Structure 1
């Protein structure tokens, strides 16, 4: 399975002709991705009352134009169904919206735990820079490998494809690591003894660690030569990561806006975090603007209460967003 850099990855041209077990796994991974994507599209329209904001559009497009065409494109490509240009175009469009789209989704909720404008600005520039320098060369090399097929082009594609996977994985690990770091700092800054709040923090850390481990799994498959499994598993992995976003977002909003006495309530534990359509409302992608140029001594004071559902805001005083 360890293809050299001078050979076209198995399955990229003329379909995959390997064993039955790998074919079954490719179908299973693609089916999981398509199921999760369709379910998420339904949940997105159920959860959001306002269809606007960076987070909403990043989540929606990552599924509609990302996961779905990526999964379908590689199925057509590996099983040699239809014209090759159609399969490659679908998978390429899907990659554009799915992989950089995941980084945009992560960035769009970063303000909930990071109050430094400099950090947010640098993360945004990193995403834009990586998207341009990685997607354009890889796209050119992909079509050139299929239709030109010279050894330098094939070698360039293999190098660029591996570097692209590693680079985007590292970028997502960086953003997830910032969440873990800032969430731990959040608990230290408000060292209450409420067990429910600590549980929420540990759940946030666990979810981000799971996201990092899934990225590591993709890297292992990529650098051990399992090209077909890596590309089909990628759609499934990214659909799961997008699904986890619903859980992460609500927990972040509750964590930064709640008092110790509020987090002990079990009112919202009746439904799964990403299924209950009453969990989120309004535009949760931006914090409330500060009214003074002077930096607040409390980093959490910039979080907008509009991020919460009315039922979650009931009984909160005007001092809710301030640390006790």
Structure 2
């Protein structure tokens, strides 16, 4: 038993260059299983996104959609690469697929976290936080994605392959640590703002429980990131690769849990608050931030349900039942994401 485990661990440390050439059936089964599970979760989440959002616009909608779509080429690219489905010049198709999927999946997840901050941060200070964190995501995407892509393609080429593999082992650890720190920063901002707002909520009897639930979800997300980073630091490339897509799909599923709790809270606090108090105006701003994050404008609708079907945002999003809305969906404007990113 221990010999088999050692074989799997040793085999998992290779795979940066070319496909998987080992003979471990267990590792091959894990690769296929987690790739299939990632694709399944992605398709399920895409259906859930279109069933949940009434308005197909806004940075939150588009970031969720793009991040989920990225899971599919990422999983397929690594399946093709590791099992050497595409050989010769066709191997570059595998690398292009996994690279495009990786960009959308990783930076898309960060944009989802950033867009969620609109639900909580308000005022001039909140505007600065959103602006600084937005530039952090943009800069990290450039300095972390591009060098990793260069050494990934170089490691699978025919010129100085060993040097590229050595560079990959260093740069990959650096970029994973960078993206981890980025998500920690975004999560900490979210937790601090959530605690601050919920502690002054008019729903005092439910605020404490909601704080614990939201923080627990964030902790689970960070623990999964730490697990991936640990595998990478141990140079277990295959294990880290096959788990990454699955973990990101779980993290995106948890976004629906968070969204459901925040929508319920904001709508409930709106119903309980006095009509003229400083705190009521703060809650109103947060509700308006929720509308904007979900793709709407306060002058166009009067309730959050115009954007999100709250009935589909329960605690178990994987069992949500799509319903056909009688209201026609607004067509997505290609300029919506760019306009929101400038705000």
TM-score, reference length from structure 1: 0.78
**Structure 1 position 199 matched with structure 2 position 213:** no
Q: Indicate the residue corresponding to 1:321 in structure 2.
A: none
Of 175, 179, 184, the match for 1:173: 184
On the 8 A contact 1:145/1:153 being kept in 2, the answer is yes
Report the Cα offset of residue 262 of structure 1: 5.9
Of 250, 253, 270, the match for 1:240: 250
On the 8 A contact 2:121/2:193 being kept in 1, the answer is yes
Q: Indicate the residue corresponding to 1:39 in structure 2.
A: 44
Report the Cα offset of residue 119 of structure 1: 0.7
Q: Is the partner of 1:213 in helix, strand or coil?
A: helix
Query: Take 1:191 and 1:48, find their aligned partners in 2: how far apart are those partners?
Result: 27
Q: Is the partner of 1:259 in helix, strand or coil?
A: helix
> Aligned-pair RMSD on alpha carbons?
2.6
Query: Take 2:92 and 2:181, find their aligned partners in 1: how far apart are those partners?
Result: 30
Kindly indicate which of the two structures has a greater share of residues assigned to helix: 2
Q: Indicate the residue corresponding to 2:75 in structure 1.
A: 71
Of 145, 148, 169, the match for 1:135: 145
Q: Is the partner of 2:156 in helix, strand or coil?
A: helix
Report the Cα offset of residue 11 of structure 1: 5.2
Of 98, 107, 118, the match for 2:105: 98
Q: Indicate the residue corresponding to 2:326 in structure 1.
A: none
Q: Indicate the residue corresponding to 1:250 in structure 2.
A: 260
Q: Indicate the residue corresponding to 1:118 in structure 2.
A: 128
Report the Cα offset of residue 191 of structure 1: 7.1
Report the Cα offset of residue 298 of structure 1: 5.2
C-alpha distance 48-193 of structure 1, shift in aligned 2 (>3 A): closer
On the 8 A contact 2:201/2:207 being kept in 1, the answer is no
Of 144, 147, 160, the match for 2:171: 160
Q: Indicate the residue corresponding to 1:219 in structure 2.
A: 229
Query: Take 1:141 and 1:216, find their aligned partners in 2: how far apart are those partners?
Result: 23
Query: Take 1:221 and 1:149, find their aligned partners in 2: how far apart are those partners?
Result: 26
C-alpha distance 47-153 of structure 1, shift in aligned 2 (>3 A): same
Report the Cα offset of residue 254 of structure 1: 2.6
Gaps of 5+ in 2: 1-8, 292-303, 311-343
How many residues are paired up?
275
C-alpha distance 120-10 of structure 1, shift in aligned 2 (>3 A): same
Q: Indicate the residue corresponding to 2:28 in structure 1.
A: 23
On the 8 A contact 1:201/1:255 being kept in 2, the answer is no
On the 8 A contact 1:71/1:235 being kept in 2, the answer is yes
Q: Which has the higher contact order (CA 8 A, sep 6+)?
A: 2
C-alpha distance 260-120 of structure 1, shift in aligned 2 (>3 A): closer
Query: Take 2:109 and 2:258, find their aligned partners in 1: how far apart are those partners?
Result: 14
Report the Cα offset of residue 190 of structure 1: 3.0
Query: Take 2:210 and 2:280, find their aligned partners in 1: how far apart are those partners?
Result: 24
Deviations 1:58-83 (A, max 9, x none): 1111112x100001111111111113
Query: Take 2:160 and 2:247, find their aligned partners in 1: how far apart are those partners?
Result: 30
**Structure 1 position 304 matched with structure 2 position 287:** yes
TM-score, reference length from structure 2: 0.74
C-alpha distance 260-135 of structure 1, shift in aligned 2 (>3 A): closer
Gaps of 5+ in 1: 264-294, 313-324
